[in-house]
Amino acid sequence: MCILLSVHMQIGWTPLSISGQYSHLMILTVDRRFKILEKSGRKWNVITDISQILYQYLSSRPTEKLHTKSPTCSREEASLRNARSKCYSLATNCWSWGSPREAELFTGQMSGHVIHYSVSRWAESRVTAVYKTQLKEISCIKFCEVSGETRILIACGSDGRVEVLKVGRNMSSLGYLWEDLDRLVVNKIVIANVCKDEISLVLAKGSFCIQLTLRILNGSKIEVLKPSIKNTGMTRIVGLECHHDKLVYVNQKSPIQICDTDKLTSGDCVNIDVSRDNFFCQGM
């Protein structure tokens, strides 16, 4: 669950399985700082600075050499690009909680890295893995399980591509869920349905709702069925949720709309016209 605000880029809550009786507040600020806070009286106090934990982890390791000297790239330019990549790896864009049984958290970074954290019951965190995706910058991630055994992470890039990662002791890429470099950024993913070996997802991609069915073959390959695409209007989608078999979405300066997930391409939908003083809260 997350809410978009003007001051903080995103806010959300920790799962009760992590926090105990009460959830803790999670804040991702506009300067890409990621923190967990706890309420004490009328004040919110920082109990875990995840960005600081990541900084300490990366500082203890050598700079990852993603760029090397070549005929088109000098040694100084390669060093500058590697330093920039390390700085961008500290900037968090999004997060997704993993399996409640594992008490794990994933974040997507501006550098295209996915950070895997282990989180204790008292919200103490440590970095367990850093994985470089094939994406330059990650805009949205979503964790899901298929058949209770295969754990995957959907990572969306700023260039429009969507990559599927297999989560285990080490993360690995299973390929692309969406390979077109269309520059339509995905800012929200919801799970519409989960069957034995396949999962149905809905992506908010610009002004389009895209429903994709993903099959996992032998735990190491993916098969993507033909997508259903709905053009929701002239402005981008800013809110998207799935409730039972209904899809709830809203565009900028538009009323909330509700439609059936199995009739995404049809024109049948219900509009809920609300005043502009109200806000759409994801996670209803």
Q: What is the DSSP letter of 243?
A: E
- Note the pTM of the prediction, 2 decimals: 0.83
pLDDT tens column, 191-227: 888 877 788 899 999 989 999 988 888 777 888 988 8
Give the C-alpha distances (Å, rounded to integers) separating 99 from 11, 119, 142, 183. Answer: 20, 11, 11, 30
Spatial separation of the C-alpha atoms in residues 141 and 129, rounded to whole Å: 16
Name the percent of the chain lying above pLDDT 70: 87
Q: Is the dihedral of CA 159, 225, 210, 165 positive or negative?
A: negative
- Tell me the pLDDT of the chain averaged across its residues: 83
CB 155, CB 162: distance < 8 Å = yes
Both tokens assigned to 268: 């049948």
How many residues are given for the chain? 284
* Stretch 184-195: mean pLDDT: 88
Query: Of 137, 150, 151, whose CA–CA distance to 187 is shortest?
Result: 137
Check whether 57 has a pLDDT greater than 80: yes
Find residue 36's DSSP bridge partners: 26, 48
Q: Is 232 helix (H, G, I), strand (E, B) or coil?
A: coil
Check whether 163 has a pLDDT greater than 90: yes
Spatial separation of the C-alpha atoms in residues 144 and 167, rounded to whole Å: 10
Across 171-205, b (16+ Cβ under 10 Å) vs e yields beebebbbeeeeebbbbbbbebeeeeebbbbbbbb
Winning range, highest mean pLDDT, from 8-12, 106-110, 189-193, 280-284: 106-110
Spatial separation of the C-alpha atoms in residues 282 and 238, rounded to whole Å: 9
Instruction: Report residue 277's pLDDT band, with 50, 70 and 90 as the boundaries.
Output: very low
